[in-house]
Amino acid sequence: MKKILTTLFSITLIVLFSNCSHKKEKYATILYFNDAHQIYPVRDELGERGGVARLKTIVEKIKKENPETIVVFGGDLAGGTLFGGLYHGFPMIEAFNLIPIDIANFGQHDFDFGSDITKQLVDSSNFKWLSSNLKDNKNNTFNNLPTYIIEQKAGIKICFIGLTDNMNTTKQDGKIFQKDLFEACKNSLQKIKNETPDIIIALTQTSLKTNEKLINEFPQINAILTEEQYENSSNIYYVHKHPIVSPCGNMGSVVRVDLNKINDEISLKIEVHALDSLVAENKELAILQEKYKNKLNAELSKPIAKLLCPLPIKGNLYKETKAGNLITDAFRDYYNSDIALINGGGIRANVDKGVFSLKDAHSLLPFGNKICVVKLTGEDIYNFIENSLNDDKHKRESFLQISGASYKYISNKLVSIYINGNPINFDKKYTVALSNYLISGGEGLKKISKNKILISQEKALNDVDLLINYCKKKGEINPKIEARIVNLKIIK
């Protein structure tokens, strides 16, 4: 596999996979983007990018050049950010209906608030969704959606399939299941064969390595449009001349793919258009952006406590952190459980010291997980925590922050656990407050059986609500590092 193009925000580059000219002949265009976590532009240390108003400007410009255009969204519009945590993706659907887009695939974060919310998002859409590998508990395609979609533009029969990976990192509600990508791809391609498309394009939410394997196993896939590899660059790779195209994160760019059919041969021309400050905003969508931004800021600027120390995000995946201590203390305080846990990957923001607002709380915990209570033996707890640990090479989002207990470890092996100052008793049963996400096997941890659940997600409160109530009660919050988690390898 060869990487052939990287583009930063300030430039637009072109890769030509075969000689083609569109001056005299009709051609089809696909506009592709993904990772739409908030409706207005993202502003951070990488600059300003994204926003639906700029997206509509690019779409209108290219559709004016070529009416034979299909606008495709690759997935992830619901969760994963503060904006998504509050609005669950519905403002993005409203904007996409106005742009408008034509086809959408799912990312795993589109299920962060449960598959019932995802169905509402689909039902609110004026565009088509597809999935080739997501099934319900009756083994039907999720929401009875098609496994592939065929569009005809400029005399070219274009077939799309949709593949979604990493569903173990979203909410597990027992209503949505990820089937093997390769088996699903094989089944879809078999059905497509009778449709005799001119070109097959896979819309994927998976890793670059998996995309490469898909092309090697299924060479009839002409191109893959996939998830972002980087926040600030768009990338085009190829495997045996088959492109794998990855736009910027947070709607930072739009990929344009022009398809030309000459003597039954399809040629591809690929451009990357940055959605940066150089792109003018569509007025209608700019008003919509501002409406939601103002609404969000008004709601979230309300103070709830005074924070006496900063809460950096760094470290949540490999060591004890102040944010982890604060959050797990809030869970344990509400339920009066023996211990409380949160996976470090569920803590999503830096918070500066000073006024601690609703915005800060929702930024820390944007997923809306329910905090349940289970009763586990000491042995269960020991194994659960040990399975969450990193190895020497990888930091895992499963790494557990803790309250009411402390543990020491080396690499991915536990050395000791103390609960309430006493060595853990393998035979004793303890109450544990943790999210429904972890209970259901999120981050690859072992699923906790239903007969061990004392307070289920149906009766549980949201994680962010517990944090807010705890901080309000305290008035001033000043979490400390207390040797709750000790990496003995670092000490040595």
For CA atoms 135, 138, 143, 149, give the dihedral sign.
positive
| Residue 272, strand partner residues | 255
| Residue 3, strand partner residues | 237
pLDDT computed for residue 191 by the predictor? 94
Full set of structural domains in the chain with CATH: 2-295 (3.60.21.10), 302-491 (3.90.780.10)
Task: Please name the residue that has the structure tokens 């030309």.
Answer: 260
Euclidean distance between CA atoms 77 and 121, whole angstroms: 10
Q: Which among 393, 381, 395 has a CA at the least distance from the CA of 427?
A: 381
pLDDT computed for residue 16 by the predictor? 40
For CA atoms 10, 16, 20, 26, give the dihedral sign.
negative
pLDDT computed for residue 13 by the predictor? 40
Taking the CB of residue 141, how many other CB atoms lie within 10 A of it? Answer: 17
Q: By the 8 A CB rule, do 49 and 40 touch?
A: no
Give whole-number Cα distances, 146 to 14, 75, 78, 127, 135, in Å.
Answer: 33, 16, 21, 13, 11
Query: H or E element: which one contains 453?
Result: strand 453-455
- DSSP output for 22-37: -SSS--EEEEEE----
Euclidean distance between CA atoms 391 and 270, whole angstroms: 40
Q: What is residue 15's three-state secondary structure?
A: strand
Euclidean distance between CA atoms 111 and 88, whole angstroms: 9
Q: Which two tokens stand for residue 3?
A: 């990487």
- DSSP output for 60-103: HHHHHH-SSEEEEE-S--SSSSHHHHHHTTHHHHHHHHHTT--E
* Contact partners, residue 473, CB within 8 Å, separation at least 6: none
pLDDT computed for residue 489 by the predictor? 80
Q: Which two tokens stand for residue 337?
A: 């459980």
**pTM: predicted TM-score of the whole model, two decimal places:** 0.71
Euclidean distance between CA atoms 99 and 317, whole angstroms: 38
Euclidean distance between CA atoms 450 and 492, whole angstroms: 41
> Within a 13 Å sphere around the CA of 305, how many CA atoms are in the beta-carbon half?
22
Query: H or E element: which one contains 115?
Result: helix 115-123
Q: By the 8 A CB rule, do 227 and 35 touch?
A: yes
- 405-410 vs 485-487, strand pairing mode: parallel
Q: Which among 477, 459, 447 has a CA at the least distance from the CA of 327?
A: 477
Using CB atoms within 10 A of its CB, is residue 459 exposed (0-12), middle (13-18) or buried (19+)? Answer: exposed
pLDDT computed for residue 490 by the predictor? 67
Per-residue pLDDT tens, the chain, 492 aa: give them.
655 554 433 333 443 434 344 444 689 999 999 999 889 998 876 678 899 999 999 999 999 999 999 999 999 998 767 788 778 899 999 999 999 999 999 998 899 888 999 999 999 999 999 999 999 988 999 999 999 999 999 999 999 999 999 887 777 778 899 999 999 999 999 999 989 999 999 999 999 999 999 999 999 999 999 998 887 789 999 898 899 999 988 899 999 999 998 888 889 999 999 999 899 999 999 999 999 999 988 888 889 999 999 999 899 898 999 999 999 999 999 999 999 999 999 999 999 999 999 889 989 998 888 899 999 999 999 999 999 997 656 678 889 999 999 999 998 899 999 999 999 999 999 999 999 999 988 888 889 999 999 988 877 888 998 999 899 999 999 999 999 999 988 654
Euclidean distance between CA atoms 268 and 257, whole angstroms: 7
Euclidean distance between CA atoms 282 and 398, whole angstroms: 41
